[in-house]
Amino acid sequence: MPHVVVKLYPGRSDQQKQALAQAITKAVMSTLGSGGESVSVGIEDVEPKDWASRVYEPDIVDKPETIFKQPGYDPR
């Protein structure tokens, strides 16, 4: 039951978010062999001023064992 959470800056349309969710679902299905019914995708808007405290620190810095693609930035 893969569940993927995407956090990004606001400004993308619902159409863009839907397209992203569909692309992620297809990637999960082909990579992991999961059926589409078992995949869920959540997309959360995070304001730039909150990025370091709500995403970078808790999800990237504090959980290095879960990061399989490092970001090329450091907002601190």
Instruction: Count how many domains the chain has.
Output: 1
Give the domain extent around 47.
3-66
For 75, phi and psi rounded to 5 degrees? -80, 0
Whether 64 is catalytic? no
Q: Please check whether residue 49 lies inside any domain of the structure.
A: yes
Give the list of residues 6+ apart from residue 6 with CB closer than 8 angstroms, or none: 20, 24, 41, 42, 43, 44
What b/e string do you get for 59-69 counting C-beta neighbours within 10 Å, with b at 16 or more? ebeeeeeeeee
Is 73 within the bounds of a domain?
Answer: no
**Each residue's pLDDT tens digit, 38-65:** 999 999 999 999 999 999 999 999 999 9
Residue 60 inside a domain? The answer is: yes
Residue 31 confidence class, pLDDT cut points 50, 70, 90: very high
pLDDT for 59: 98
Among the listed residues 2, 58, 71, 75, the single catalytic one is: 2
pLDDT confidence of 35, banded at 50, 70, 90? very high
Instruction: Tell me the percentage of the chain whose pLDDT exceeds 90.
Output: 97
Q: What is the pLDDT of residue 76?
A: 85
Residue 60 belongs to domain with CATH number:
3.30.429.10
